[in-house]
Amino acid sequence: AEKSLTVLGLGDMGSALIRSWLAAGYAVTVWNRSARSAPNGASVAATAAQAVAANGLVVVCLLDDASVRSTLDDLDLTGRDIVNLTTSTPAEARALSDWIAARGGRFLDGGIMAVPSMIGVAGSGAYIFYSGSAELHEIHGAALAVPAGVTYVGADAGFAALYDMALLSAMWGMFAGAAHAFALIRGEDISPVDFAPLMVGYQQAMAGYAYGTAAQLVSGDYTEGVESNLAMMVTTNGTLLRTAAEQGVSPELLTPFMRLMERRVAEGGGRESNTGVIDLLRRQPALR
């Protein structure tokens, strides 16, 4: 197969993607809105239209959905295979998929689970969620496997973005907890460098709790296998808050989650784990 593709976007991520394809022997045509230096060996197109015309496979890695729309607007996408690696919402990805199909193109959306330095590095753990055209995922499988691992999550063009955003959301929760923990020890005679491995180890040990949550969501029994009941955890929350006050640390990252735990206990969920919090978060009933 012909090893060539176009990449729109020479930002940090776009450039990393381009370098990985160049290193794998692909001929890469690139375009960026403003003048930026392109990785050595890439062919720079003068316009987005020329870049899109140069190859059947067009990878887009711009800032957000609005920048993708304004860049692809007015371009001839007939027969183009558009792979969008720009972070978007699920609804934005679905709408973009329809918009591109209406213009004669095929669409695959991607959510990149890596930072640029992990791209094209074997063993880095980098992977990309893909969803949308199963055909594109098959046809371009070799090219897609170059920058990172490929995890195809279905024909719904919104699913890659949904998985991506769900994992990022989980990451913010972890970062928020770590920020609060560092704030607690800051100002004491405790080295953050010595503290970090203890915190990381504990976070890793606790991360597996999500398997139990998943099992409970499927069974519907939120008391199944509970060894840390919600009523006990809510009591512990008081100790966490008094500790924050003693250390002069704002509880603002923790309190929203604690309020939800309290609400669930007030509703009678004291013998459960904290799975019921998920139901409190949903403003609409689950689709299935």
Enumerate binding residues for ligand NDP (CB under 6 A): 9-14, 32-34, 36, 61-64, 67, 70-71, 86-87, 112, 115-116
CB of residue 43 vs ligand NDP: minimum separation in angstroms? 17
Based on CB atoms, which residue is closest to ligand NDP, 65 or 81?
A: 65
Based on CB atoms, which residue is closest to ligand NDP, 15 or 275?
A: 15
Based on CB atoms, which residue is closest to ligand NDP, 28 or 181?
A: 28
CB of residue 80 vs ligand NDP: minimum separation in angstroms? 17
Q: What number of CA atoms fall less than 13 Å from residue 233's CA on the CB side?
A: 22
**Distance from C-alpha of 100 to C-alpha of 82, rounded to nearest angstrom:** 8
CB 68 within 8 A of CB 60: yes
**Distance from C-alpha of 9 to C-alpha of 31, rounded to nearest angstrom:** 6
CB of residue 69 vs ligand NDP: minimum separation in angstroms? 9
| Alpha-carbon distances of 157 from 78, 151, 169, 201, 240, rounded to whole Å | 19, 13, 20, 36, 42
Based on CB atoms, which residue is closest to ligand NDP, 48 or 253?
A: 48
Based on CB atoms, which residue is closest to ligand NDP, 3 or 36?
A: 36
The β-bridge relationship of strands 106-113 and 81-84 is parallel
Q: Which amino acid is at 260?
A: L
* Residue owning tokens 């998943």: 214
CB of residue 130 vs ligand NDP: minimum separation in angstroms? 14
Position of minimal CB gap to ligand NDP: 11
Residue-by-residue DSSP string for 107-137 = EEEEEEES-GGGTT-TTS--EEEEEE-HHHH
CB of residue 174 vs ligand NDP: minimum separation in angstroms? 16
Residue 229 exposed, middle or buried by CB count within 10 Å (0-12, 13-18, 19+):
middle
CB of residue 229 vs ligand NDP: minimum separation in angstroms? 38
In what order do the strands lie in the sheet containing 149-152?
43-44, 27-31, 4-8, 57-60, 81-84, 106-113, 127-132, 149-152
**Distance from C-alpha of 164 to C-alpha of 92, rounded to nearest angstrom:** 13
CA 35 remoteness from chain centre: 28
Based on CB atoms, which residue is closest to ligand NDP, 58 or 112?
A: 112
CB of residue 115 vs ligand NDP: minimum separation in angstroms? 4
Based on CB atoms, which residue is closest to ligand NDP, 105 or 111?
A: 111
